[in-house]
Amino acid sequence: MNFKGSFFSCIFFSISFTCYGQNTAKHKSSVDNQYCADLQNGYFLNPILKGNYADPSVVRDGDDYYMTHSSFDNVPGLLIWHSKDLVNWQPIANALTEHVGGVWAPDIIKHKGLFYIYFPANGTNWVVTASNPAGPWSKPKDIKIGGIDPGHVVAQDGKRYLNIAGGNIVPLTDDGLSANGPMKKIYEGWTYPKDWHVECFCLESPKLTYFNNYYYMTVAEGGTAGPPTSHMVVSARSKTPFGPWENSPFNPIVQSSGRSSKWASTGHGTLVDAPDGSWWIIFHGFERENRTLGRQTLLLPITWTKDGWFKVPGNADPAAPLKKPAGKAVLHGIKLSDDFSGNNLGPQWNIINNANKENFIVGDGALTIKGIGNSIKNTQPLTLMPSNNSYELTVNVSSGTNDAKGGLILYYNSQYYAGLEFANNRIYRLHNNGERNEVANAINQDHVYLRLKNDHNDLLYYYSLDGESWKRIDFVAEISGYHHNVLSGWGYLKPAIFATGNGEVKFRRFKYTGLN
């Protein structure tokens, strides 16, 4: 089976949806009851993308915006989102269909009619190109540059460069596909007060914008996680891409206000202008009381001062409704439920840890997963990105052939997870580091329905023999600590289905329902 051409569905449009609601209590989608930022009254409420959409990079092309994020070890990777108003986003393609390593902090740009995405993975930086963001995208090319967080810039003489975390810059060849000289340091960053609570200095995320005869460098400082005030957006400007740099008097441009703020560790910003002349900054942050979702994508307005500096208006609160940018709303989001009615794995699913794509087979209304490993510790689950603080998952799981076992879990990594498994006519509750407890036996049929309910990080477990009458298991797991500050790894808690053992397990009627 051809992975690039047929394994994952290329039809993104059909699984997007519109938002509804006229107030903050109903900003949800009409499909799966997912979160949606558009309040349908001329305002929006952050985040614009809920879930682990970290390290956003955005480019405008006429009336259209295109955005991508870190995709880590997910395959396919570098999901491209399209918008016309910066609030409603529709997935249109994956720019990366092969595994080259963990993908961090990309930069999407357009230069002379061609779109480029620069991204670090496996100790080097890569580039993919396309004439249309919807694809097809080229195979990734190693441009032989170390470091992380690439940021593309074009000098006034037309020469191209790549900025790298740490305040460094590298010249590129004219086609932008290779390094063309040594890396050198050009920027030392902004010095914040020594008594601030941060994770580290961590000068990262250089993004360059040319405006009004200045190059504006937007960077991140303070570390990406840690205390709520750690991460921040910092700006400096220069007449050239090489400095000298003058730090903004309005630094930090974006920073969490403290422990009581809804959004923590806010940073990694990218400036973007709208066709009507307004300016905006897109960045990420942890939802302080729900870090398990990872770093979500947020949007704030930008204003320019008379002396040429930009800042966020003082009344622009990322936790409050804000006036929407102009532009038509596209169909928003990506459907997460799946009846496996086609012949391809839908684009909501992610293969992780470089798993063999041939282990996942779609057909006849079912997903067949070949067993991998003998436990969660060494299997390779199929995952997706949740888009609500609370949600419910339901799936039909068949008895595995031979000694195969299958189930439904919330997965942080191979050590930290929680969920249910169906094996040998029994149901087991699974928990961290191999814990496995029988909760039901003597099930005299070849399939069961499993359900997990994440209720504000209280996890409830259910099973059913017919999908109608449900039995709740007498146990509730508290899962609020499944995030980077506790477990490291830059992960997030994600719904997953899996199979272990030597046989196969069939899954049918996977349903995701947002609950808030």
Give the CATH number of domain 349-515; options: 3.40.50.150, 2.60.120.200, 3.40.50.300, 3.20.20.70: 2.60.120.200
DSSP state of 377: G
Residues catalogued as catalytic? 55, 204
Contact 433, 442 (CB under 8 A): no
pLDDT given at position 13: 45
pLDDT-derived band at 27 (thresholds 50, 70, 90) equals low
Residue range 164-188: average pLDDT? Answer: 98
pLDDT-derived band at 51 (thresholds 50, 70, 90) equals very high
Q: Is 289 left (phi over 0), alpha (psi -120 to 50) or beta?
A: alpha
B/e letters for 59-90, b = 16+ CB within 10 Å, e = fewer, are: bbeeeebbbbbbbbbbbbbbbbbbbbbbbbbb
Contacts of 252 (CB under 8 A, 6+ apart): 190, 192, 221, 232, 233, 234
Q: pLDDT tens, 277-292?
A: 999 999 999 999 999 9
Kindly state the tokens that stand for 25.
Answer: 């209590």
Q: Hey, what CATH class is 31-323 in?
A: mainly beta
Q: pLDDT tens, 444-497?
A: 999 999 999 999 999 999 999 999 999 999 999 999 999 999 999 999 999 999
pLDDT given at position 237: 99
Kindly state the tokens that stand for 81.
Answer: 């989102």
Residue 469 CA: distances (Å) to CA of 155, 182, 245: 66, 66, 66
**Which helix (H) or strand (E) is 485 found in, with range?**
helix 484-487
Report the amino acid identity of residue 332: H
What backbone torsions phi and psi does residue 379 show, to the nearest 5 degrees? Answer: -95, 180
Q: What is the pTM of this model?
A: 0.95
Contact 362, 484 (CB under 8 A): no
Contact 97, 350 (CB under 8 A): no
Kindly state the tokens that stand for 469.
Answer: 């009458």
Average pLDDT, the chain: 94
* Beta carbons within 10 angstroms of residue 442's beta carbon: 6
Report the amino acid identity of residue 433: N
Contact 268, 56 (CB under 8 A): yes
What DSSP line would sit under 129-185, residue for residue?
A: EESSTTSPPPPPEE----SS--EEEE-TTS-EEEEETTTEEEEB-TTSSSB-S--EE
* Beta carbons within 10 angstroms of residue 512's beta carbon: 23
Q: What does the domain layout of the chain look like in residue ranges?
A: 31-323, 349-515
Kindly state the tokens that stand for 66.
Answer: 């295109």
- Residue 119 pLDDT > 70: yes
pLDDT given at position 313: 98
Provide the percentage of residues in the chain whose pLDDT is more than 90.
Answer: 90
pLDDT given at position 9: 45
Q: pLDDT tens, 134-156?
A: 999 999 999 999 999 999 999 99
- Residue 7 pLDDT > 80: no
pLDDT given at position 24: 41
Report the amino acid identity of residue 427: I
Residue 417 CA, chain-centre distance (Å), reads 19
